[in-house]
Structure 1
Amino acid sequence: MSFTRLTVRGTLAVFAGCVAAAAGGAAPAAAASAPSVPVEVPLGGVEDALHVDAPHLSTAAPLPIPGAPEGPTYDEQHLLPQGMLPRVPLGTELPATAAELPVPQVLPTDTVKQVGLHTEASPVHAESPGASVNPPLTGPRAERLGLPDMSAPQLGLGVPDLRAQPGADLGLG
């Protein structure tokens, strides 16, 4: 598989996700029972107004489900616990999407009837950024009769993380 094909597949998967997000509209009851919300794109008016075959789109909008963040960890070298602002994990699944666009027959020898875009469901895992801070003091020192030492102030930021493997297939039918 070439790099160009992967890039095209990734671009198409992002495009399909944007279409699903922009389309909107679903029942609240479906949101409570499933990890994704079905998206219906009403295109019946396009057929009547323009007298052309309307494209078909079936997809869903993913609902991220937060996980349990890790609690702060305590260390004798630091005055405050590390991970005061914890990283929150999120998980969801990009839903399968199918889009078919009818192609008008321009030439009498044209055999292409439609262009289709299909994506498979794929898991998505993300983590929000986190932070740790330490003031310019250490914990109590026994050799100093319980008084803290001076230290350099510290600030640590956890970078956000996003892992997914979206893919799409574009075909002529």
Structure 2
Amino acid sequence: MSINVRGTLAVLAGCVAAAAGAAGASPAVAAEQVPVTVPLGGLESALQTDVPDVSTAAPLLTPGTPEGPRFEKSHVLPQGLVPKLPLGTELPATHAEVPLPSLVASQDLDRVGVSTEGSAVHTETAGASVNPPLTGPRAERLGVPDVSAPQLALGAPDVQARPGADVAVH
């Protein structure tokens, strides 16, 4: 068997294997959060006492699509030259239980729990627009621009969320 035939068969076998693997694979799904559990078990055995139970997640930001520059007749440069970048994530649900000392012997109150539910967060970074001290070409002046005051506009960053929490005694 010649080297060309062996190479062709190797490429063909590689393509078949890749197609078979892709047929059974599902598309990758990005996680919105990374779970985090605070390991305090070693502290419990070292101090011979109850320690808090804490579990939460680390949110991962998902960038959105920025709005592109807008062209206006009265400006030489496009508006929104530095666009605002929208970012989104979800505040993680967090649960913490802290042990209480036995203060009242008649009631079974041994832990205080704090829970927060997940909530969506939408943010936008700051943006900027600038216009030099010239207007666009004027038809009545045969395409020559007029002189105008320079302009600078900064878009403020924005954060929107609705967090909430519950506190309970167990």
Q: How far apart are residue 127 of structure 1 and its match?
A: 0.4
Pair 1:81 & 2:62 matched: no
SS in 2 for 1:47: helix
Structure 2 counterparts to residues 40-119 of structure 1, below 5 A: 40-119=37-116
- Compared with structure 1, are the counterparts of its residues 33 and 77 closer, same or farther at alpha carbon in structure 2 (3 Å cutoff)? closer
Deviation at 1:161, TM superposition (A): 0.6
- The worse-fitting range, judged by mean Cα deviation, of 38-47 and 78-87 is 38-47
TM-score (norm 2): 0.80
Aligned mates of 2:143, 2:30 — CA distance in 1: 55
Which 10-residue stretch deviates more, 82-91 or 96-105?
96-105
TM-score (norm 1): 0.79
Matches within 5 A, 1:1-173: 33-173=30-170
The CA RMSD measured in Å over matched residues stands at 1.2
Say which structure, 1 or 2, has more relative contact order (CA 8 Å, 6+ apart): 1
Identity of aligned residues (%): 61
TM-superposed CA distance for 1:108, in Å, is 2.4
Read off the aligned partner of 1:87 and give its amino acid letter.
K
Gap runs ≥5 in structure 1: 1-31
Question: How far off is 1:114 after superposition?
Answer: 0.2
Question: Structure 2 unaligned runs (5+)?
Answer: 1-28
The amino acid that maps onto 2:75 is H
Distance 1:120 1:87 in 2: 28
Q: Aligned partner of 1:66: which letter?
A: P
Shift of 1:110: 4.4
Flag as ranges the 4+ runs of structure 1 deviating above 2 A: 106-111
Shift of 1:53: 1.1
- The equivalent residue for 2:8 is none
Q: Distance in 2 between matches of 1:154 and 1:130?
A: 14
Deviation (angstroms), 1:111? 2.8
Q: Structure 1, residues 99-158: CA drift from partner, whole Å, max 9, x if none?
A: 111112134234311000011110000000100000000011111111110001000010
Structure with higher Rg: it is 2
SS in 2 for 1:45: helix
Instruction: Give, in whole Å, the separation in 2 of the partners of 1:54 and 1:33.
Output: 34
